[in-house]
């Protein structure tokens, strides 16, 4: 089956890089907004029987980006695509993997159900939780960004470095980094009070005189990082912090909040676009080679 890659509008630079890593030209399609805000799509290629990949991150505006992906998949299906794979570098709603109270939906399940109506397969990067894979009725291929980020940090590692999991959810993640980087680990006990507000109850492990390397799947509002770094400094950690995170969403005034902290580097990926982050020491590593390798493997299988 001939391979073709189309891009939604959420992350066109990554789509272009992925196309070039795969030695392709991005597929031609028109995506515009109607005056009332609805999305108009026209697939301008003959894709009859093709192996179609659609790249779209579902970061903010998550609903809109998801709808665009679904419409693009529908247009491809109706043009006779042989197989459709949604490539989702940042998978929005993955944090809604369970109900905290019985008043809530399971958002991640809703999203996988919608994707399964139009796509044959999902390829997602550094998911908040592997539970999402279990929700999906079509094959979901998970591509962790951990090895890429660990390699990017390796040259900065010192005998003072200590990996820090900023909450219980990051405990498995930090252990993967510990295996890759052979560093000790500290665990933070975090309580989330609201979407923006968190508090640190305790830190397990001695961080005094150590350079913290905080690992998390994402930075959203920055609340978790701010409270974690403050708590680490109070306990005698050195004011030279590194952060390894798959998705630097940096919503709202996260950039401003983080710029006030002694962060030497934030090593992340290009899963989402970063705007207005000049004051932050962001080191962005492209997912394009990783995604290209995974797509080549999938096509051989
Ligand atoms: C939570 O479980 C996630 O792993 C992140 O720690 C969290 O989503 C980060 O959000 P924020 O930056 O808003 O604290």
Ligand 1 atom index nearest CA of 170: 4
Q: What is the pLDDT of residues 24-78, one digit of tens each?
A: 989 999 999 999 999 999 999 999 999 999 999 999 999 999 999 999 999 999 9
What pLDDT score does 178 carry?
A: 98
What pLDDT score does 101 carry?
A: 93
To test ligand 1's pocket by mutation, which of 216, 229, 244, 272 has the most ligand atoms within 8 angstroms of CB? 216
What pLDDT score does 196 carry?
A: 77
Q: What is the pTM of this model?
A: 0.96
Q: What is the pLDDT of residues 97-120, one digit of tens each?
A: 999 899 999 999 999 999 999 999
Q: How far is the CA of 220 from the centre of ligand 1 (A)?
A: 6
Is the beta carbon of 246 within 6 A of some atom in ligand 1?
no
What pLDDT score does 217 carry?
A: 97
**Mean pLDDT, rounded, for 116-126:** 98
Sign of CA dihedral 70, 76, 80, 83: negative
Angle in degrees, CA 28, 32, 34, rounded to 5: 150
What are the residues whose beta carbons fall under 8 Å from the beta carbon of 56, sequence distance 6 or more?
7, 8, 9, 10, 11, 65, 68, 69, 72, 86, 87, 88
Q: Are 272 and 9 in contact (CB under 8 A)?
A: no
CA pair distance 81, 116, nearest whole angstrom: 15
Is 80 exceeded by the pLDDT of residue 235? yes
Is 80 exceeded by the pLDDT of residue 276? no
Architecture of domain 146-285: 3-Layer(aba) Sandwich (3.40)
Is 80 exceeded by the pLDDT of residue 221? yes
Q: Which residues of 23-57 are buried (b: 16+ CB within 10 A; e: fewer)?
A: eeebbebebeeeeeeebebebeeebeebbbbbbbb
Average model confidence (pLDDT) across the chain: 96
What pLDDT score does 195 carry?
A: 76
Is 90 exceeded by the pLDDT of residue 198? no
The residue among 173, 177, 149 whose CA lies nearest residue 161 is: 177
Q: What CATH class is the domain 3-144?
A: alpha beta
Q: How far is the CA of 128 from the centre of ligand 1 (A)?
A: 9
Q: Would you state the torsion angle of the CA atoms of residues 185, 176, 190, 111, taken in this order, to the nearest 10 degrees? A: 170
Is the beta carbon of 107 within 6 A of some atom in ligand 1?
no
The residue among 4, 58, 50 whose CA lies nearest residue 27 is: 4
Q: Do domains 3-144 and 146-285 have the same CATH topology?
A: yes
Q: Indicate the pairing of strand 161-165 with strand 140-143.
A: unpaired
Q: Would you state the torsion angle of the CA atoms of residues 105, 111, 114, 119, taken in this order, to the nearest 10 degrees? A: -160
Q: Which residue has the higher pLDDT, 151 or 277?
A: 151
Domain ranges within the chain, ordered by starting residue? 3-144, 146-285
């Amino acid at each position: 089956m001939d391979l073709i890659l189309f891009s939604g509008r959420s992350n066109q630079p990554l789509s272009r890089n992925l196309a070039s890593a795969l030695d392709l030209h991005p597929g031609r399609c028109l995506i515009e907004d109607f005056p009332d805000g609805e999305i108009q799509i026209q697939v301008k290629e003959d894709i009859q029987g093709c192996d179609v990949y659609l790249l779209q991150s579902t970061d903010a505006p998550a609903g809109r980006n998801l709808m665009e992906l679904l419409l693009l998949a529908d247009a491809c299906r109706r043009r006779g695509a042989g197989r459709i794979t949604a490539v989702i570098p940042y998978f929005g709603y993955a944090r809604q993997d369970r109900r905290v109270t019985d008043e809530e939906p399971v958002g991640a399940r809703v999203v996988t159900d919608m994707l399964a109506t139009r796509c044959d397969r999902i390829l997602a990067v550094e998911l908040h939780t592997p539970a999402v894979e279990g929700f999906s009725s079509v094959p979901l291929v998970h591509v962790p960004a951990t090895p890429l980020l660990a390699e990017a940090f390796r040259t900065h590692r010192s005998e003072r470095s200590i990996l820090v999991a900023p909450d219980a959810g990051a405990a498995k993640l930090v252990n993967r980094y510990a295996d890759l980087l052979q560093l000790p680990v500290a665990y933070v006990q975090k309580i989330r009070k609201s979407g923006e507000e968190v508090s640190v109850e305790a830190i397990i492990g001695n961080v005094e005189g150590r350079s913290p390397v905080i690992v998390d799947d994402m930075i959203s509002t920055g609340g978790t990082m701010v409270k974690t770094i403050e708590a680490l400094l109070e306990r005698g950690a050195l004011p030279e912090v590194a952060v390894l995170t798959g998705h630097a969403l940096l919503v709202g005034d996260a950039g401003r909040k983080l710029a006030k902290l002694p962060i030497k580097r934030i090593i992340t990926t290009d899963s989402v676009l970063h705007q207005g982050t000049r004051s932050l020491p962001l080191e962005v590593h492209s997912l394009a080679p990783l995604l290209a390798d995974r797509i080549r493997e999938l096509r051989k299988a």
